[in-house]
Chain A
Amino acid sequence: MTEHTNGARGDFADFVRVEVPTLTRAAYLMTGDRHHAEDLVQTTLARVAVRWDHVDEPAAYARRVLYTQSVSWWRRRAARVSETLTARVPDQPRLDTDVDVAVVLERALHRLTPRQRAVLVLRFFEDRTESETAELLNCRIGTVKSQTRHALRRLRELSPDLAQLEMDR
């Protein structure tokens, strides 16, 4: 093994140590499932490893791979949580704490489309601007705006308590 390869391997290990926690959180928000999130992170890192010698900003490249992979159709099919319709509206917990909000939000997130989830995660979890989000998702800014708008409206429809919470505060 050459000196160059050894060096690259060490750099990649450092990158993994630093970036995996962040990537995992974003992946979990995108997929809603720990196993799928882990799978997505490993797929992303494998891609980064292959392109390691050619990528100037590995962190940015990893995020781009993560989000584009998460919305690709074959992953969407595998990751989608099947929805079961019932005659009774499920009980809604009281939203007294952030944990309560998280429970309701997580349930609602599952019912968004992968692209809508990606837009919300980038805009409100990673605090990206619209242009950065558009670049990472490889789409236009107008698409980001419309997807954000649709996602928020869908969240309000799915969880009226979240909308009520917004008005209360």
Chain B
Amino acid sequence: MNEWLTRGLHAIADRVPPAAVPEDLFNQARSRHRRRTVRGGIALTGVLLVIAVSLVRPIWQQPSVFGAGGPQAGIPTEVVVPPHWCATVGQSSPGPAAAIFGGEATRDDWFEGRFAAVSATGDRYRVIDEMPYRPPGFEALLSPDGRYVAHGRAVTALTKDGKDISYLPGDVIAFSPRSDRLVFATEAELTHPNTYTTPIVGIYDLASRSTVTQVDVGSAWISPGWTAAMSADGRRLALQVRDEIWITRLEGTVGTPYLKIRVPGGRLAGPGSWLPDGRSLMVAEPASDGGWRLSERDTQTGEPVERPALPVPPAATFLRVIAWHSADSAVVLAGFSHGDVKPASDNYDVSLGPFRSSTTDQVRLVVLTRGAASARTVLETPEGVDDLDVAADLATAEAFRSPGEPTFGPPHTLYLIGGSLILAAVTIAIFVAVRAVRNRGRRKAAAASNRG
């Protein structure tokens, strides 16, 4: 059968004309192959990226909320300076923050306005990049619940992928204790002779995104920084105006000061100046050791209130009361210097907050208890970090926690772009080199073949 099979197969095949082949099949096939390779590479890279991101993303963005159900929230007793590649709050939300901090250590020539935030429920560090630098605790304020950072006129939500959720009519000078309102000051007009003024102080409501109350301060200049404090019930406002503290009831759309307390050389002691009962508030005054001491003033009469003193740290470059755990225990930020102690002096400067001392090197978070021998230090910032603000709600609860393993989220966008470009350049270089070596070998083989 085999012979007939062979003859039969040839008889079948011989009837068939040769197949038509496109003239440019060679180039077409190779071009199509290249396109498919590139498309396949892109698709594969995309799939790998999606898989990688979906695997790693949960690590970057762990859900975090204060209160029951979530991990224990607290202010860490240590913070670290985040590395350059740390994610921004826009890239990866840290959740409610325990603290924001900044200084020379967090900034460099590339990121001149960079400061950091650390989450309340874990050591997730993120950064906020902006220009100009707004010192945390002075011109960048953390809301008491840790959910917002107000810096300049922008309010950034740390729980919503770091998007600016609102813009204030002026520069922020305080949050309300419930974190739902902000106090701002702004310049309204240029007065003779060419002097800027900030005659408008307003209360801005975050929910309605509108100014609900305007405080009449006449032509007084309200300097940037922490120059305002709202009482715990949110019904009264204390405002530093030159060397006076004006107290206003926030009723209706216009508030008028009912009391002006003279504090020569002194200052409102921070966003937690009001004691929990609202009957008195704290004033920081120059101390004999060159630092500061805290005194108490009645909010009806302005007279000093005599109570056992709080054991403030010696030679503090500034004191900023954050919150009260009780009427006898305050949580305070205190600046200190490595060098010689200089006399406390106001540094009223247009560009800097009035209470930001240029001699501060580091900041301590301390708990001051009446009758105690000394302050209890909870947190001390690293070298090069001289600006700090903490979530007042955590401070009120004295919720402090041990630090954990810090995480910094996905690499900063600039580093991702840079890394991708370098990787692409290296890949192309390797590809070109391999092709060059292969072509050289082929040419040699062809030359040898021709000689043969």
Contacts and interface: CB of A to CB of B under 8 A. Distances in A.
Given A124-B6, A127-B6, A163-B1, A45 B21 contact: yes
A37 interface: yes
Nearest to A12: B26
A139 interface: no
Given A38-B19, A99-B11, A52 B26 contact: yes
Contacts of A165: 1, 4
Dominant SS among interface residues on chain B: helix
A49 B14 contact: no
Contact of B19 (A24, A49, A169): A24
B207 interface: no
Nearest to A43: B29
Contacts of A24: 16-19
Contacts, number: 102
A21 B18 contact: yes
A124 B10 CA distance: 9
A166 B2 CA distance: 8
A20 interface: yes
Given A24-B16, A28-B16, A105 B8 contact: yes
B9 A49 contact: no
A28 B13 contact: yes
A49 B25 contact: yes
Contacts of A8: 26
B19 A125 contact: no
B2 A124 contact: yes
Contact of B21 (A16, A25, A47, A152): A16
Interface residues of B, number: 31
Interface of A: 4, 8-9, 12-13, 16, 20-21, 23-29, 34, 37-38, 41-42, 45-47, 49-50, 52-53, 98-99, 101-102, 104-106, 109, 120-121, 124-125, 127, 152, 155-156, 162-163, 165-166, 169
16 contacts: A9-B26, A12-B26, A24-B19, A42-B21, A45-B29, A46-B32, A50-B33, A101-B7, A101-B11, A102-B11, A102-B12, A102-B15, A105-B12, A120-B9, A121-B9, A124-B6
Given A24-B18, A37-B16, A125-B9, A50 B25 contact: no
A25 B14 contact: yes
A45 to B, nearest CB: 6
B30 interface: yes
Given A29-B13, A52-B26, A106-B12, A166 B18 contact: no
